Amino acid sequence: MSEAGGLDPLAETEDQAALRQLAREVANREVGPRASQGDESGEVPSEAIKALAAADLFRVTIGEEWGGLGYGDAEASIVLEEVARFDVSTAICCQLAFNGPARGIEHLGGPALKERWLMAVADGDAIVSIGITEPDAGSAVQEMRASLRPDGPGHWRLNGYKNYSTLGHAASAILVWCRWPGGDGAKGIGAVVVPMDRDGVSVTGKHRSMGIHAATEAEIAFDSVDIVEDDVLLAGDPGTTESFKVLLSHLNHERCGNAAMCIGAAQGALEHSVRYMNDRVVGGRTLGQLQGLQWKLADMAVALEGARLLLGRAVRLAGPGGTPPALETAMAKTAANLAAKLVDNPQDIVPVRTAGHRSTLAGRSTSGHRSGWSGGLPA
């Protein structure tokens, strides 16, 4: 068999390869052994978070000025993939630090917000959740009811209700999308960062999802919460949709992180499947010797590698300090979620061959893989 003689256009740098190796070692040692317990108990993976923070793996995308490493989306996707190979719940904690509110605070926030939250996130001492979705405004974000009303110069009162706030029940603060006075529809939507211990903020419920039990979503109520200038991430202009567009574009970081976690979870499940098929003996032969099952693994590997390549392109197109482009990000996220679903449910495979492929695989290939994941992730 001939060896590749050219250059891989998506090859990792030495620093990136070292980061991947570090993330894999720490995740294997500290995250994997705790994944099953967290999935069963639903408790936040605090010990895994401490271990990752001790290895400086919560500092990846935070700027050096704030105690971070100053890396970008490519490096964030590397760490998220490696952590998600062992436990998606723990990877979601990293996702919030890399691509969620902390990224928005650094790019869009004022000095007070940065000073208060970035170092705490980098040290692994604070989780900042995000509140966008509402019961009556899911994907139609512009229909949100959370809003501010004036309460004197530089002061507002926040009223609203957010559900599906990831780890909101364990967060120190929450980044809330809300409408500024006088706004309507997408006009006037901006964002504020609210400490969870502020008067009027309450956790009213916690979801129990089909998977990812240790990083589930919470429901948060805001009852006349005092908001001051230093809490404002991005003010909404009631006459334009510009702030709303900026907030939406920032979600491309999270979408790439979503893709990375799907790839990591699927990679871990595929590796488990290969080990199981090489160990399980039926009728004097291992399952890995059955050609029909080899085809299944091949289809999984092709879909997974295709998603990885699409993600690699999207995060590299962001450039230093930039945001991944919308089209390439959407393609990567779609491919990664489909690949993850395919690995978890091999009966859904659409063969890459044109004829003669009629094999079946009873049960899930991921049996025994304790990722806390059940095919696809929320944005």
The series of mean pLDDT values per 10 residues for the chain, 379 residues long, is 74 95 97 92 94 96 95 97 97 96 95 96 96 87 94 95 94 97 94 98 92 92 97 96 95 96 95 91 88 91 96 93 94 96 68 36 32 42
pTM of the complete model: 0.87
Secondary structure of the chain in HEC code, one letter for each residue: CCCCCCCCCCCCCHHHHHHHHHHHHHHHHHHHHHHHHHHHHCCCCHHHHHHHHHCCCCCCCCCHHHCCCCCCHHHHHHHHHHHHCCCHHHHHHHHHHHHCHHHHHHHHCCHHHHHHHHHHHHCCCCCEEEECCECCECCCHHHCCCEEEECCCCEEEEEEEEEEEECHHHCCEEEEEEECCCCCCCCCEEEEEEECCCCCEEEEEECCCCCCHHHCEEEEEEEEEEEEHHHEEECCCCCCCHHHHHHHHHHHHHHHHHHHHHHHHHHHHHHHHHHHHHHCEECCEEHHHCHHHHHHHHHHHHHHHHHHHHHHHHHHHCCCCCCCCHHHHHHHHHHHHHHHHHHHCHHHCCCCCCCCCCCCCCCCCCCCCCCCCCCCCCC
> What confidence score (pLDDT) does residue 107 get?
94
> What confidence score (pLDDT) does residue 370 get?
37
> What confidence score (pLDDT) does residue 136 get?
84
Which residue type does 186 have?
Answer: A
> What confidence score (pLDDT) does residue 347 get?
56
